[in-house]
Amino acid sequence: MRPAHPTRRSFRVAVERLGAAGGYLWSGWGSVASICLFLAAWDVAAGHLGELILPRPQDALVRLQGLLTEGQAWPEIAITARRALAGFALSVGIGSLLGLLAGLSVTASMTARPLVTLLVGMPPIAWLILALLWFGAGDGTPVFTVFIACFPIIFVGAMQGTRTLDGQLRELARMFRLPPWMRLTDVILPHVVSYLFPAWISALGMSWKIVVMAELLSTEDGIGAALAVSRSHLDTAASMAWIVALVSSLLAIEYLLLEPLKRHVESWREFASSRS
Amino acid sequence: MLNHPPPPPRLGHSLLPALWICPFRPFFLATALSALVGMALWLAVLAGWLPAPDTPGGPVLLHAHEMIFGFAAASIAGFLLTAVVEFTGCPPIGRPALRLLALIWLAGRLGWACSGVVGLIPAATADLGFMGLLLFHITGPLWRSPQRRHLSFFHSLLALGICHAGFYTTQLRGQDALPWLHLATGMLMILIVVALSRISMRLVNDVLEAQGGMSTPYLARPPRRNLAIFAIGLFSVSEFARTSGSTTGWLALAAAAAVLNLLNDWHVGRALFQRWVFIAYLVYWCMGLGYALIGVGLLGGQPWGSAGRHLLLAGALGLASYIVMVVAGRMHSGWGLDPRPWVPAAALLILLAALARSLAGLPAGSAHHPRLILIAGSLWLLAWGLYLARSFPVLALPRPDGRQGCDDAVTKR
């Protein structure tokens, strides 16, 4: 049998990938249904509590649309995103690296464990107070608070990933004299990343929550600050609009970026389990 | 063994010699006739060729009632009385009981035709008697079957029967009974989801097997189905209870999304474009779009309810009834699946009828409202006329293999 023409093969691969992407997006209808059910529950609660306490979801959405079209929302979203992602990136970089290193040594893992418990147990609001004293009002406070709150989650994920590496696989790689790069990309990383990714996703969700809290108390711009202003004006619709903007951007990042990446990275598990 | 003499010929025996050998036969015939007669009369009234019938609740209520409890109830009876036998292995309903059921259904239609003169009691007695008797015939086998896996048919039919009883009670009290018909629409959609999940597993997997690729067999996943049933049920109850329009609107959008979520099961590659599968696939598209229209209309304060509802009833219900009648009707009468082009053509006509009728209720079609309704009705008549012309021999004449009953034909493609 003659092999398929390269152009035809790449076309087929492109079609398959497009189909997979379409399938992934279509699978989102279940989530859309859940969100609509939640919005209906919100609407019922709004009907009982009144507009001042809880506006209806469509009022919040209309307000958000207004904020977006008037151009008020984008700069605030960009500032918040910059701070959240900066803190998140720091914790991903430092937390993953230190966690991987700690996982290589039993002694380091043992020593790190109580420290991680301490960091996890420390409430973010306490870190925020300290950060305010150290960095003052500005980008430093929210970025640091996000970093320090996300760090232990990522550290633990990376450490567990390294600790649970299959020794037999490593031995096999050594016996076959796999080059170091191949050993890293084909043996170590797929396993470690399967632990790291869930940790990164949890940390990302946390970073968005914490950055808003930090902004609310420490800065004059960003979504958190806008929330503080709308609260002081008793403008509940605007508050809900900002919250919707925050949650929507988080959902978009998680489901349009991180989840497809996670599936791609973890596809080897499915492949392995279908062969076993 | 003694040879019994042939039974004496009955009235209509020569015209319909095999009408009663399987339960779906009289009811599928009644469905097609009801679709044709009901729509033809409705169009004649709308066009002014006939005076508006002097029935309780007015002509719109009559039209809605007859499409749901005349047309749809006949197809449901035909489907359930045949499918329950196949699902549970119980013996089929006897011919006298079948004749009685069909007669009561017909009495209900005649009762409505004369309701302007004799009132609604005769129609109510016949229609509720029909529902009760149908429930009686399917409950025993469903209840006795191991694990009671198909009991959801009983629940759906019971809910539909309660809606019907509520409709008559409200109407007889002189109150607005239309909300009961809206609730019944929701129960019908749930029944379609329940029924199509069973039918589609066979349809799609048969096609996949015929195409030689069963690496990923089709499975109608219960969690997705349950979410769709839950969302449709919640929307229907909210609409019936007249809760805030926006709450009901969000629930309609939830129902739309949950129904579109069901299509994830159907994306199985080339098999999807096989006619039997694709027509059933379109049922969910109509249902999803129908609920989406209702939801967006409610949230935006637009009167799009009728447009959405016609996508549900003319589109989803029309296509679901059609595909069941075309597939089950042919298979259980020994003819095998029909490969001729009229099958997709009639499905296309039903789809276009639903779209045209839906468009008539939207701002884009409001300028051509009467014309679009006439076009929609004509397309509907053409589709069901085509079905009746092609399927009359299948429903009324003896099986080609000379056997009696509802046994499957050997599948031929």
User: How close A195 gets to chain B, by Cα (Å)?
Assistant: 28
The answer as to whether A121 is a domain residue is yes
Residue A29 is nearest to which of B247, B250, B261, comparing CB atoms?
A: B261
Q: Per the CB < 8 Å rule, is B247 touching A33?
A: no
Q: Per the CB < 8 Å rule, is A40 touching B261?
A: no
Q: Are B63 and B38 in contact, with CB atoms under 8 Å apart?
A: yes
Tell me the average pLDDT of chain A: 87
Collapsing DSSP to helix, strand or coil, B303 comes out as coil
Q: Per the CB < 8 Å rule, is B258 touching A44?
A: no
ipTM: 0.88
Q: Per the CB < 8 Å rule, is A37 touching B243?
A: no
Q: Where are the domains of chain B?
A: 26-212+231-396
Selected residue of A29, A244, A274 to mutate for chain B interface (largest B Cβ count, 10 A) = A29
pLDDT band for position A193 (cuts 50, 70, 90): confident
The CATH number linked to A268 is 1.10.3720.10
pTM: 0.86
Angle formed at CA A214 by CA A209 and CA A220, multiple of 5 degrees: 120
Selected residue of A16, A31, A43 to mutate for chain B interface (largest B Cβ count, 10 A) = A43
B236–A contact, CB cutoff 8 A:
no
Q: Per the CB < 8 Å rule, is A37 touching B251?
A: yes
**Total length of chain B:** 413
Write the single-letter amino acid at A171. Answer: E
The answer as to whether A30 is a domain residue is no
Q: How far apart are CA B390 and CA B392, in angstroms?
A: 6
Q: Are A99 and A158 in contact, with CB atoms under 8 Å apart?
A: yes
pLDDT tens for residues A13-53?
788 778 888 888 888 999 999 999 999 999 999 999 988 89
B234–A contact, CB cutoff 8 A:
yes
Pick the CATH number of B26-212+231-396 from 3.40.50.150, 2.60.320.10, 1.20.210.10, 1.10.357.10: 1.20.210.10
Q: Per the CB < 8 Å rule, is A27 touching B244?
A: no
Give B54-57's long-range contacts (Cβ < 8 A, gap of 24+). Answer: B54/B116, B55/B112, B55/B115, B55/B116, B56/B115, B56/B116, B56/B119, B56/B120, B56/B171, B57/B171, B57/B177, B57/B178
Percentage of the residues of chain B whose pLDDT score is greater than 70: 94
Place of tokens 């108390």: A217
Q: In the prediction, which pLDDT does A272 show?
A: 56
Q: For chain A, how many structural domains are there in total?
A: 1
Selected residue of A36, A39, A49, A51 to mutate for chain B interface (largest B Cβ count, 10 A) = A36
Residue range(s) defining the domain that contains residue A117:
60-275
pLDDT tens for residues A223-266?
999 999 998 888 899 999 999 988 888 888 878 887 787 777 66
Selected residue of B225, B226, B246 to mutate for chain A interface (largest A Cβ count, 10 A) = B246
Q: Which of B71, B37, B83 is nearest to B377 (CA)?
A: B37
List residues of chain A with CB under 8 Å from any CB of chain B: 23, 26-27, 29-30, 32-34, 36-37, 39-40, 43-44, 47, 56-58
pLDDT tens for residues B231-278?
999 999 999 998 888 999 999 999 999 999 999 988 887 788 888 899
Q: What is the pLDDT along chain B (413 residues), one digit of tens a residue?
A: 344 444 444 545 566 778 999 999 999 999 999 999 999 999 999 999 999 999 999 999 999 999 999 999 999 999 999 999 888 888 889 999 999 999 999 999 999 999 999 999 999 999 999 999 999 999 999 988 887 888 999 999 999 999 999 999 999 999 999 999 999 999 999 999 999 998 888 778 777 777 765 556 677 788 999 999 999 999 999 999 988 889 999 999 999 999 999 999 888 877 888 888 999 999 999 999 999 999 999 999 999 999 999 999 999 999 999 999 999 999 899 888 899 999 999 999 999 999 999 999 999 988 999 999 999 999 999 999 999 999 999 999 999 888 888 887 654 44
C-alpha atoms less than 13 angstroms from C-alpha of B53 in its C-beta half-sphere: 21
Q: Per the CB < 8 Å rule, is A29 touching B251?
A: no
B231–A contact, CB cutoff 8 A:
yes
User: How close B53 gets to chain A, by Cα (Å)?
Assistant: 40
A1 or A36, which is more confident? A36
Residue pairs spanning A and B at CB distance below 8 A? 66
User: How close B299 gets to chain A, by Cα (Å)?
Assistant: 8
Compute how many other C-beta atoms are within 10 angstroms of the C-beta atom of residue B20: 17
The answer as to whether A130 is a domain residue is yes
Collapsing DSSP to helix, strand or coil, B66 comes out as helix
Over range A54-61, report the average pLDDT: 93
Q: Are B233 and B293 in contact, with CB atoms under 8 Å apart?
A: no
**Contacting B residues, span 249-268, partner chain A, CB-CB under 8 Å:** 250-251, 253-255, 257-258, 260-261, 263-264, 267
Q: In the prediction, which pLDDT does B101 show?
A: 97
- CA distances in angstroms from B238 to B162, B234, B256, B305, listed in the order given: 17, 6, 15, 14
Q: In the prediction, which pLDDT does B5 show?
A: 45
pLDDT tens for residues A158-177?
999 988 887 777 788 888 88
User: How close B215 gets to chain A, by Cα (Å)?
Assistant: 12
